[in-house]
Structure 1
């Protein structure tokens, strides 16, 4: 018999036998990974002259396959301001705790307290900023951002109060139309689109997107008149449908600024294994989440007019 062929047969037999032996010794071990008690997550944004609303959920474990956050429906939620206390009731439809008999006021401090069985008292305190009006909204014409891109050129002007302040600036386009349906009824609808803003001053640029808007502090103009020059993401002023462009100036709390900055940066870095980890800001005691406040001013300009 061929010696090489014989050797191959013996080697194959030994290899198969070893495989059978190893597979017969294989043991499946189930490892229980403990799920820690979920934390109470509180999210609330209080705006001047709006109803107070608070969303409560349980946090999810990183290995939890349920992508829905479980709402908390049985908590006692109190809103405290000065010597007054208001109770917020759970609304099944919105999934929030609210009080439709009370409106949030500017320049007022609020504390949210949450009592839930099995947990320490969860709470957070924030001051609602004062109103800062838009002094002027100037359309400077069509601007060339670079060799390939052009956009509407605007200047937003306002007076910054003395002290430390933070602002969120955004814009959106609204066009209202109507038509007659098959039943002869007049139907009205509204086309609402976000306008993405790009500041001319690089000091106001960020490494992340903020739903089209920008977020800034007042270090460059503290206590003075501010003039923020902006490009839009398109030439909306050339549209002839007589729509409206709204610019929104929101005076925001520092917590609002810190949360949006860290959340935006974390979202921007998502999927990048070499990015530095970002800890999202939270101001909730004995829980996680964010309680932030703001005060909104807005100004509109009609498209196709080329002027205020």
Structure 2
């Protein structure tokens, strides 16, 4: 019994002493190239941005890189060389094609070489319709939006997001979205008792065709109110790498906004060899409300 008492006293003392000890870590960060480039068959201009990585706890501005050579290959053939557009931006006037594989290479005399590959996914095939459900408190018409994604064979990574023009300013991708569907990913779902289904998805909704491959993904976006300015819903089909990048980026944002002090750190996904960033692709179908 005496041994137990002595052990407890020593243990408590050790805990308090360890809490008072200052521990510092000295991490050296070697800047590496950070590339961001997303291919989209609906765009006639491909844009790439190039900068240097920095430590998360530093407040200095991001340093852009302007002296690199950036090449894009379609399958095994050189498609073109990006031209410098200033402030770390590079542009190439080419249109990527769905189903083809692309590889990008970056060569900087000062910071070395990086590269990455991606496959451009097919444009989502969708149908949609509206069902009037009544009027809101301001006597504005409310309706449900019925959407069907006609999934093609093979893995597809769909994302649902919104854009709108308010007072002449276009924005989107933020806020919350209400959707109740078995194929909706729940990673960014938060319980909100005042919402229609008792929960909400923040920023975007990821729709997986896992278990629904080659089928119709049928769902309803409820209680929409038309606006005088532009509003739209978008179904984005993301390449494998871009899909992971979007998901981890949303997790990172949710982590930053959370009040919980012990959230697990989130590492934003990157597919850049010898560097950081994302080289991905997407195809988008749009529903103008």
Query: Structure 1 length normalisation: TM-score?
Result: 0.70
- Taking a change above 3 Å as real, the CA distance of residues 92 and 199 of structure 1, as seen in their structure-2 partners, is same
Q: Mapping of 1:188-203 within 5 angstroms?
A: 190=168, 192=170, 194=172, 196-201=176-181, 203=183
Q: Mapping of 1:97-246 within 5 angstroms?
A: 97-100=90-93, 102-135=94-127, 137-142=128-133, 152-174=143-165, 190=168, 192=170, 194=172, 196-201=176-181, 203-208=183-188, 212-231=203-222, 235-237=224-226, 239=227, 241=228, 243-246=229-232
Does 2:260 match 1:277? no
Q: Which runs of 5+ in 2 are unaligned?
A: 1-23, 136-141, 190-200
- 2: CA distance between counterparts of 1:290 and 1:120? 17
- 1: CA distance between counterparts of 2:246 and 2:210? 18
- Taking a change above 3 Å as real, the CA distance of residues 153 and 124 of structure 1, as seen in their structure-2 partners, is same
- Taking a change above 3 Å as real, the CA distance of residues 171 and 32 of structure 1, as seen in their structure-2 partners, is closer
2:251 to 265, 269, 292: 265
- 2: CA distance between counterparts of 1:77 and 1:211? 35
- 1: CA distance between counterparts of 2:176 and 2:37? 25
Cα deviations by residue, 1:251-282 (Å, 9 ceiling, x for unpaired) = 11111111111121122122532112222211
- 2: CA distance between counterparts of 1:173 and 1:76? 37
Matched residue of 1:204: which SS? coil
Contact 1:269–1:275, Cα closer than 8 Å, also in 2: yes
Q: What is the match of residue 295 of structure 1?
A: 283
- Taking a change above 3 Å as real, the CA distance of residues 206 and 116 of structure 1, as seen in their structure-2 partners, is same
- 1: CA distance between counterparts of 2:169 and 2:27? 49
- 2: CA distance between counterparts of 1:193 and 1:143? 27
Matched residue of 2:31: which SS? coil
Cα deviations by residue, 1:134-165 (Å, 9 ceiling, x for unpaired) = 22x22233489xxxxxx742221121001111
- 2: CA distance between counterparts of 1:125 and 1:143? 49
Q: Which runs of 5+ in 1 are unaligned?
A: 1-30, 145-150, 176-188, 302-308
- Taking a change above 3 Å as real, the CA distance of residues 90 and 254 of structure 1, as seen in their structure-2 partners, is same
How far off its partner does 1:130 sit? 1.3
Q: What is the match of residue 53 of structure 1?
A: 47
How far off its partner does 1:32 sit? 11
Matched residue of 1:42: which SS? strand
- Taking a change above 3 Å as real, the CA distance of residues 78 and 212 of structure 1, as seen in their structure-2 partners, is same
- 2: CA distance between counterparts of 1:219 and 1:162? 11
Matched residue of 2:82: which SS? strand
Q: What is the match of residue 84 of structure 2?
A: 90
Matched residue of 2:232: which SS? strand
How far off its partner does 1:82 sit? 2.6
Q: What is the match of residue 238 of structure 2?
A: 252
- 1: CA distance between counterparts of 2:53 and 2:123? 34
Cα deviations by residue, 1:184-214 (Å, 9 ceiling, x for unpaired) = xxxxx84645485311126515343887431
- 1: CA distance between counterparts of 2:108 and 2:263? 37
Contact 2:29–2:54, Cα closer than 8 Å, also in 1: no
Q: What is the match of residue 73 of structure 1?
A: 66
How far off its partner does 1:47 sit? 0.7
How far off its partner does 1:248 sit? 1.4
